[in-house]
Structure 1
């Protein structure tokens, strides 16, 4: 049975594939809201039924939170683990949606037909590209493609509290030669991408306290320390005039971009002016001497995400506040040590405090960056397979965000990942009117067929 036969089968089944995706999209599996516990369970059960009908040994695995779905097809050859998540973001603000977010529909847009619904792109549509690739393979050949395990999570959009305990408890069952992760996107609508760099994260939520209560500025303004003034001075010192971050040791472990990667990125049709112009900006504001793509994909950042204190209501209240707070996050790359950077930031804040001020920290768990081995043969095979399906050759791309599952697979399963997805930048994930291109869905199915063929039969 040839690859072309399986691809033709996928083409013939596309209407059914869309219908099945719609069935999953109708389930309101919002993981962060306890009111949607039953829909999350229903989504997991729906996937178990579909996978069982396809011939997988599939089961719902209950956790202290929402269930995991695990499915196996045993065969000779390399063991491949595919990961996706069936939970979705909340839909608020509902009044900004053009239609009910859980009533999926095909819509015509200037860019072609799209599937409009919450979860269409993040991550139900992406997840189903792989399931439907397996369906076409089974229909054309009578069997599933290779030695495959599927792991579908129900808490990705709410911080994955059950994931690490589950990976630890089931490491021997889940450990694989390679993991495939679909929660990523294309470079553009005609250029597929394999994401090879993921930035890590360190976060800090902190409060500086001065006087033991809010004070009248007429009586205490001048002699009393103002925590907002202290806070803004400290935050302003985090960057120098060239955009570099001033924390001691911050750039330890930040690698230079390999020349061949730099050349491939420079050749991409990326319009930095348009990228910034689309959000009402005109000038890059990061590190001087670094391109916009470098800044997003391969350079570390420090961002002030929120700042508050004093009186912020209507009118004016001449208060000298007792407290001032901020949230600061760091995107990390290469071999930067997230825990050390978090501690360096805390030391910087503490050492910068004047007399009569104290600080309380409420930081999150730091996570290091992940760089994947693009010289591994599986990466070359997948790149060639994707290039055969799309108009443009597949590129190795960086990612400005963080995908913790990749680091967790490396830490707890000793498994590296291939990150391949078909989302587009304008899919409105996490926002009203989320969509997924019908082309992304259809060619995503075909792409996974090609990738599976390359990884399991070549």
Structure 2
């Protein structure tokens, strides 16, 4: 671990250069690196170039690596005897539509005073340029104090995260030997809801399916054919309605194979968060948890699998009324996975379930919308405890190990392709409005985020 005096100097350097750090972030945010829009292809490359120039100026060996899509930026510090660490972030941003809902131009970022403190307003401020820059600023301060960068760092910055990361897995596979480290750090996450620092240690996986049930060769008059002919909407609704039993458990055979209860360390951390399910649901106009009633709300959000109908359509839904038996009905269904659940087995079980409910006169087709397993990190690795203590020291509150109900595929990719666990540490907040108009990043998140990374780097040396 770094000498405490040197750490204090590094933190003091960050504090003294706060204005410079803000200016650099604002410059970065002015680049409209929208990866999903072909009109911004040159802007995305400009952002990669900007990053590469900054990193080289700090002493990293940095290169732009072309892919079939937008480029990757890969940088390295000098080799040494420290534990090799890979840091990941993304420099592309979401589209800004609808533009008329922004209070200021999205690529003209600025500091703003709000009732909750100073924020950095602009597209990408929180997701993910501001978060990415917290780590770079920590490295900048480290070099100013030590005369050299922290050794054995690999930085990987992606330009396609907001457009599905189509080039990422092939890039990781092709560069497996040069990118593999002992652990990965991912900054694309947030503080816990009450501002408590946190390390996300598990992420649910995902299976997406689209189902189309077809009956007659045309829509039928319900008076002439009702009661005799198959109704695809009824068929589909009955099949989907039996996906769960009265207790909230999913009925697919083998669905819970590989699902594990949270260990005692996680349970203690989760209990200490004092999660209020009624307050959480109240934010969206609800009040009462559903699902497996023998589980705590946080278990249901983070450590239990789900089956959800995301969309369903068929027949006539226009103005007025039309009495038909529709020829087709379709639905989109997703499963969130935990533990060691096998995405392909879940997909196969679901398709068998639909076919089981299919009458002789109906046909079904399925469309695959992706699959990824859950990611569960090994918190017995000493790096987790070291980072947790570093975060607690900076924020003056005990950091927690938390889960995430959603999926962050990069963590699974690092596990599957590079064979290493990830620590997901970020400083965003629930109200940052990522992907929405008026995105912001708290100035406190930016400054304390950089200080947090300086502490974590010191703890891992």
Both structures adopt the same fold (TM-score exceeding 0.5): yes
Choose the corresponding residue for 2:22, options 11, 18, 21. 18
Gaps of 5+ in 1: none
Distance 1:189 1:272, change over 3 A: closer
Deviates more, 1:216-225 or 1:39-48: 216-225
Q: Does 1:6 align with 2:10?
A: yes
Task: Specify every segment of 5 or more residues in structure 2 that has no aligned partner in the other structure, as ranges.
Answer: none
8 Å Cα contact 1:70/1:152 also seen in 2? yes
| Counterpart among 72, 79, 83 of residue 76 in structure 2 | 72
* 1:69-123 Cα shifts (integer Å, max 9, x gaps): 0011122122111000111122222232222222212122222111111211111
Contact 2:199 2:399 in 1 (8 A): yes
Paired residue for 1:323?
328
- After superposition, the C-alpha distances for 1:137-183 in whole angstroms (9 at most, x for unaligned) are 12222211121110000111111110111111111111111111111
Q: Deviations over 1:416-452 (max 9, x none)?
A: 2111111111211122222111111100000000000
Once residues 189 and 43 of structure 1 are traced to their aligned partners in structure 2, the CA distance between those partners, rounded to angstroms, is: 33
Cα deviation code 1:31-87 (max 9, x no counterpart) = 122222111111111111111111111111110001000011122122111000111
SS in 2 for 1:366: strand
1:347-392 CA-partner distances (Å, limit 9, x unpaired): 1111111121111111123211111011111111111111110021
1:212-251 aligned within 5 A: 212-251=217-256
Q: Deviations over 1:305-359 (max 9, x none)?
A: 1111112223333332111111100110011111100110011111111121111
Alignment partners' CA distance in 2, 1:327 and 1:135: 47
- For 1:346, the equivalent position in structure 2 comes to 351
Q: What is the correspondence of 1:37-186 to structure 2 with a 5 Å cutoff? A: 37-76=41-80, 77-186=82-191
Root mean square deviation, CA, Å: 1.3
Residue in 2 that maps onto 1:372: 377
Q: Please tell me whether the aligned partners of residues 63 and 74 of structure 2 are also in contact (alpha carbons under 8 angstroms).
A: yes
What is the TM-score when the length of structure 2 is the normalising length? 0.96
Say whether 1:455 aligns with 2:447: no
TM-score after normalising by structure 1:
0.97
* Residue in 2 that maps onto 1:356: 361
Question: Which residues in structure 2 correspond to 1:275-286 (within 5 Å)?
Answer: 275-286=280-291
Whether the 8 Å CA contact 1:190–1:391 is kept in 2: the answer is no
Report the secondary structure of 2:369's partner residue: coil
1-structure distance, mates of 2:456, 2:12? 16
Q: CA deviation at 1:222?
A: 2.7
Question: Residues of 2 paired with 1:404 and 1:422: CA distance?
Answer: 19
Please state whether the residue corresponding to 1:330 is helix, strand or coil. strand
> What is the distance in 1 between the residues matched to 2:345 and 2:190?
31
Shift of 1:26: 1.5
Instruction: Report what 2:339 is aligned to.
Output: 334
- Offset, 1:241: 1.2
1:399 is matched with 404
For the 8 Å contact 2:26–2:109, the answer to whether it is kept is yes
Q: Report if aligned partners of 2:238, 2:357 keep a CA contact under 8 Å in 1.
A: no
* 1:32 paired to 2:45: no
CA–CA separation in structure 2 for the residues paired with 1:99 and 1:323: 46
CA distance in 1, matches of 2:62, 2:15: 26
Would you say how many aligned residue pairs link Structure 1 and Structure 2? 456
- SS of 1:453 mapped into structure 2: helix
Shift of the alpha carbon at 1:189? 4.8
2:433 and 2:96 map into 1 onto residues whose CA distance is 12
Q: Secondary structure at the match of 2:334?
A: strand
Q: Is the 8 A contact 1:252 1:336 kept in 2?
A: yes
- State the distance in 2 between where 1:88 and 1:226 align: 44
What is the DSSP-based 3-state SS (H/G/I as helix, E as strand, rest coil) of the residue aligned with 1:365?
strand
SS in 2 for 1:20: helix
Whole-angstrom distance in 2 between the partners of 1:148 and 1:444:
18
Measure the CA separation in 2 of the matches of 1:126 and 1:216. 58
Partners of 2:269 and 2:175 in 1: CA distance: 39
Q: Answer yes or no: is the 8 Å Cα contact 2:107–2:122 preserved in 1.
A: yes
